[in-house]
C-alpha cells in the first residue's frame, strides 16, 4: 500500500484567511485624531473604520488588517498608502483628501468611491464592481474585468481599459480621442468634453451624452 503525504500548509493558510475576513463581528469605529488611530485597542477586531481630519495614516492603517469597510475624509497629510495591503476590504470611501496620491492595496474590494483626491494611479482592482474616481489626476486605469458601474470623469485619461461588463460609464472631461473597447453591455454612456473622433458600437445603449467632441456622427 502506498502512503501519500499531503502538505496542507497552503490550504490551512487559505482557510485561516477566509475565516479571519468573515468571522469577525461588525465593529464600527470613528477616528478623529492621530492618538486614537495609534492607540485604539483590538485593532484586528475593527471591521468598519472611519478616519476624519488631519491624520497621518501611513503606517498605522496597516494595523487594521481585517477591515471590511474603510472611509477616509478630509485628510491632508499622507501622499501615498500603496505600501499598505487590506485583503479583507470590500468597500472603500475615500474623498476630499487633497494630497492623497495612491490608495492602499485592496485586491478584493468591490465598491470604491475615491473622488476628489490627488490620485495619479490606482492599484489592481480585479474584483471591483463599482468605481467612482471622479476629479483626480489619473492618466490611465487598471484592468477592470468585473466593473459594471464606472465614473472616471474629470481626470486626464487618454485610453480606457477593457470594460466588457460595464453597464454605466461616465468618462466625460478627459483626454480621450477614441472609444474602441467592447461596450456591448453598456446602457448609459457619458463621454462629453473629450477629443473623440469615434465611439464603439453600443447595441444596448439607452442614454448617450457625447457633446463637445470631434464626432462627425454617432
Tens of pLDDT along 38-60?
888 888 889 999 998 888 887 78
The pairing of strands 178-179 and 149-151 is unpaired
Dihedral sign of CA atoms 100, 116, 147, 169 in order: negative
Give the pLDDT confidence score for residue 81 in this predicted structure. 85
Give the pLDDT confidence score for residue 34 in this predicted structure. 84
How far apart are alpha carbons 110 and 10 in whole angstroms? 25
Read off the DSSP letter of residue 127: T
Rounded CA Rg of the chain: 20
Higher pLDDT, 171 or 12: 171
Residue 99: band (very low, low, confident or very high) from pLDDT cuts 50, 70, 90? confident
**pLDDT over 90 (residue 19):** no
Amino acid at each position: 500500500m502506498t502512503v501519500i503525504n499531503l502538505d496542507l500548509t497552503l490550504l490551512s493558510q487559505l482557510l485561516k484567511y477566509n475565516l479571519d475576513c468573515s468571522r469577525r463581528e461588525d465593529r464600527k469605529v470613528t477616528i478623529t485624531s492621530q492618538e486614537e488611530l495609534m492607540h485604539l485597542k483590538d485593532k484586528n477586531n475593527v471591521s468598519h473604520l472611519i478616519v476624519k481630519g488631519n491624520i497621518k495614516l501611513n503606517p498605522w492603517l496597516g494595523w487594521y488588517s481585517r477591515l471590511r469597510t474603510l472611509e477616509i475624509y478630509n485628510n491632508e497629510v499622507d501622499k501615498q498608502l500603496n505600501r499598505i495591503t487590506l485583503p479583507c476590504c470590500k468597500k472603500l470611501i475615500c474623498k476630499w483628501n487633497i494630497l492623497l496620491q495612491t490608495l492602499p492595496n485592496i485586491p478584493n474590494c468591490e465598491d470604491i468611491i475615491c473622488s476628489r483626491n490627488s490620485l495619479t494611479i490606482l492599484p489592481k482592482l480585479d474584483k471591483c464592481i463599482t468605481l467612482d474616481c471622479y476629479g483626480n489626476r489619473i492618466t490611465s486605469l487598471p484592468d477592470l474585468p468585473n466593473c459594471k458601474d464606472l465614473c472616471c470623469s474629470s481626470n486626464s485619461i487618454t485610453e480606457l481599459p477593457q470594460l466588457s461588463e460595464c453597464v454605466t460609464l461616465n468618462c466625460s472631461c478627459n483626454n480621450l480621442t477614441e472609444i474602441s473597447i467592447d461596450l456591448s453591455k453598456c446602457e448609459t454612456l457619458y463621454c462629453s468634453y473629450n477629443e473623440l473622433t469615434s465611439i464603439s458600437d453600443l447595441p444596448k445603449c439607452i442614454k448617450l451624452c457625447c457633446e463637445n467632441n470631434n464626432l462627425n456622427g454617432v
